[in-house]
Amino acid sequence: MSSLTSDWIRRARLFVQRFWQPTSACMTCMPGSWGNFMSAAHWAIALQTGLLTGLLAVLLTFTPAARLYSHRYGNALVVGCLTAIGDAWSHKSHYRIPILEHLLTGVISGLFALAAWYLLEDRARRIRAVWARVFG
């Protein structure tokens, strides 16, 4: 497999990761999130946030900032910042303090990225170990 192909496969994987984390964070942080879980409008906003964040994350792979993706905390910081930007672009805040929802969504997305890194590193070694202990 050529280097060019593997770079684009890595970027596609990065897009998927940076899509689900902000989408989940946005669904969590919007007021009435769990009560409006089946709302199409609610999902449209969350998906729009995830899409923009994913695209921005892929664009960053063409810059020196791409090195941050290889470090646990740098990755979480980039994801959180990009999510806050994507959320602010997708909709106005539903909270009394205008920027609070976007910042909270970014923080939650960064925490999701950190948790995913911890759980899924080394081919999900930690999850497989727990699975083996529970189901022997």
pLDDT band at 129 (very low <50, low <70, confident <90, very high): very high
Look up the pTM and report it: 0.84
Buried b (16+ CB within 10 A) or exposed e, 37-70: eeeeebeebbbbbbbbbbebbbebeeeeebebbe
Q: 64-106 pLDDT, tens per residue?
A: 999 999 999 999 999 999 999 999 999 998 888 989 999 999 9
Q: Is 32 helix (H, G, I), strand (E, B) or coil?
A: coil
Domain residue ranges in the chain? 3-135
Q: 3-25 pLDDT, tens per residue?
A: 878 899 999 999 998 899 999 99
